[in-house]
Amino acid sequence: MIITDDEIQIRKGLRMKVNWEEEGFQIAGEASNGAEALEVLRDLDIDVVITDMRMPIMDGIELAKRCQQEFPNVRVVVLSGYSDFEYVRGSLKQGVKDYLLKPVAPDELVEVLSKIRKEVEEEKRIQAESARLRRLVHSQLQEVQEQYLLYLVKEEWLELNMVTERLLQLQLEDLVNENAEVQFVTVEIREKECNPNRLKKLWIPFQMLCKEIAKDHPKTYSFYDPSYANMIHFLQILDSDNRDSPSKLVKEIQQTIKRLLKLETVVGIGNVTCGITNFKTGYISSLLAWSQSQLGSQSQVLDGSNVKDEVFEFSPEIERKLTNGIESVNYEAFKENIYFLLEGDRNLSIMSFTFAANRVLFLLGSLARKYNMETNDFQKIMWNCQQSIWELNSQSKVIEHLLQLAKLIIEKVRVARFSNGKVIVASVQQYLEHHYASEISLSMLSELFHINSAHLSETFKHTVGQNFSDYLVQLRLQKARQFLEDKQLKIIDVANLTGFSNSGYFSTVFKKYFGQTPVEFRNSLDS
């Protein structure tokens, strides 16, 4: 800590007020005004500043404001006379952590120091734990695994065999079995004092802890969905050996987050489903369970696993009709199918309606990403739609929001059709960015983007400057370079992860492009 006061006698007096080392502090320096204090802060690792209120050049309140901007982790304690008491107290929101009235009483000083010491120690412990977890779980493979899990629960995919192949490449063979029973668990963190800044600060430690917890539970994976703030989602494969595992998982999550981060957790347990094709159903059911939670910061567990399977009906036929309505720029067809699905004479329960509306929202989100529509404004509209689904104040309001989204996407598709292919090519490039390791052909892409394959090939080469196959190989090789930086992955692993059939062919192509083999490239990283 440092002491800041324009009177040297006061600085000496403060040094003698308490036994600083006994209170856990070391006085690292002094300053006669705020400007000098800032210089010390730039040179030393300081946790606390005790400063006088009135000083020349820069006073204590201005120093506190500057600290908040440049050194947000530094605690500022202001000393003030009685006449400045109300002014200083009103400045607590401007970076002042606490205040002491002059003359400073030793017991009051000790009380403030004790409180600050506990806060600093807790923050440093969390930072150290976060760094340890980051080192423990950081892995290129794990990041790609998490991205692919999110893809499976949010995006529309055409061919099951491509998904199966990619799961094997990503060493997620546990998920390939179509008869495997799967359960999703959604976990949200909440803060008792409703302090969003603290939640933001603890977000990465929360992510890291969730990853570590998942590693300790067999056949359990965690992932993050940017659509839902302050949440991590778990996917757990159930078998005869771990039938009670979800309850153990939830208990460990809540106890660990409470103990280490001092945060409350709200947990939604989803319905048990079978196979990859029902991942969306399981994922939405965990979100639906979570959405039934009460407002407030108290920890809660909402178990939706007893909801009947027939509630969650969303046929591939209706999904295809909705998608075709968007892709063929036919708003009326989309609207007709929406009303059939969500209104009509089907007598849907609230749960069934909410589930179906979420499936439509996921589908629209997937199409929006396909056509590069993820702007801040569009995300806001998506979130408003999601909110209306959770709240379910009005069935017609939910349908209205979904139709509004559909109109925006259809307009984007219409523009894409008349952009000389530039928008379509950009969308194809984005698709390849996520699916470069799969067996992708021009005919498959032409079907996906509703465009003639010969025209797509010509447009792609004209727009990008190289043909489709060369572009895909180059993209795979660039991804391979990133994976090679992860020493935990073998060369054969990198080949599989980037879509090459064997390590020999991968090495040949890699050397042709980069002038060195994958092994030579990896060794060069250490030189």
Catalogue the long-range contacts made by 488-494 (C-beta closer than 8 Å, 24 or more residues apart): 488/139, 488/141, 489/140, 489/141, 491/518, 491/519, 493/141, 493/171, 494/518
- Per-residue pLDDT at 82: 60
Tell me the CA distances in angstroms from 215 to 37, 133, 221, 249, 490, one per residue in order.
46, 12, 7, 11, 20
- Under the banding of pLDDT at 50, 70 and 90, the label for residue 93 is low
Residue that has been written with the tokens 């509004």 in this structure: 404
pLDDT top residue among 96 and 59: 59
Q: Return the DSSP state at 138.
A: -
CATH numeric code, 142-307: 3.30.70.270
- Per-residue pLDDT at 310: 47
Among 84-88, 392-396, 407-411, which range has the highest average pLDDT? 407-411
Catalogue the long-range contacts made by 347-351 (C-beta closer than 8 Å, 24 or more residues apart): 349/311, 350/392, 351/288, 351/307, 351/311
- Mean pLDDT confidence for 412-416: 87
Judged against a pLDDT cut of 80, whether residue 92 lies above it is answered with no
Query: How far is Cα 421 from Cα 190, in angstroms, rounded to an integer?
Result: 46
- Per-residue pLDDT at 125: 83
Catalogue the long-range contacts made by 161-169 (C-beta closer than 8 Å, 24 or more residues apart): 162/435, 162/438, 162/439, 163/276, 164/276, 165/438, 165/439, 166/435, 166/437, 166/438, 167/276, 168/496, 169/437, 169/496, 169/497, 169/499
Longest dimension (CA), the chain: 86
The strand ranges marked E within 81-161 are: 96-101
3-class SS at 247?
helix
Name the token pair of 222: 């965690």
Query: How far is Cα 97 from Cα 35, in angstroms, rounded to an integer?
Result: 19
Judged against a pLDDT cut of 90, whether residue 185 lies above it is answered with yes
Find the DSSP H helices in 262-305.
279-291
- Per-residue pLDDT at 137: 47
Sign of the alpha-carbon dihedral angle for 381, 383, 389, 392? negative
- Mean pLDDT confidence for 289-317: 79
pLDDT top residue among 36 and 103: 36
Sign of the alpha-carbon dihedral angle for 503, 504, 509, 514? positive
Query: How far is Cα 443 from Cα 455, in angstroms, rounded to an integer?
Result: 11
Phi, psi of 406, rounded to the nearest 5 degrees = -60, -40
Q: Return the DSSP state at 275.
A: S
Q: Going by CATH, does the domain composed of 422-524 fall within 3.40.50.1820?
A: no
Among 54-58, 264-268, 288-292, 418-422, which range has the highest average pLDDT? 264-268
Judged against a pLDDT cut of 70, whether residue 242 lies above it is answered with no
Judged against a pLDDT cut of 80, whether residue 162 lies above it is answered with yes
- Per-residue pLDDT at 171: 86
- Under the banding of pLDDT at 50, 70 and 90, the label for residue 133 is low
- Average pLDDT score over the chain: 86
- Mean pLDDT confidence for 9-38: 90
- Please state whether the predicted TM-score (pTM) of the whole model is above 0.75: no
The predicted-structure confidence for 246-290, as pLDDT tens digits, reads as follows 788 999 999 999 999 999 999 999 999 998 988 998 999 999 899
The predicted-structure confidence for 372-394, as pLDDT tens digits, reads as follows 887 788 888 888 888 888 887 78
Residue that has been written with the tokens 């075709």 in this structure: 324
Query: How far is Cα 511 from Cα 527, in angstroms, rounded to an integer?
Result: 19
Sign of the alpha-carbon dihedral angle for 165, 167, 173, 179? negative
Phi, psi of 95, rounded to the nearest 5 degrees = 105, -5
With CA atoms as reference, report the closest residue to 319 among 446, 158, 434, 440. 158
207 touches 232 (CB < 8 A): yes
CATH class, domain 2-129, is alpha beta
Residue that has been written with the tokens 């009177």 in this structure: 7
Judged against a pLDDT cut of 50, whether residue 140 lies above it is answered with yes
Query: How far is Cα 392 from Cα 394, in angstroms, rounded to an integer?
Result: 5
With CA atoms as reference, report the closest residue to 480 among 452, 505, 447, 453. 505
Percentage of the chain modeled with pLDDT above 70: 92
Name the token pair of 400: 């209205």
Judged against a pLDDT cut of 90, whether residue 325 lies above it is answered with yes
- Per-residue pLDDT at 301: 94
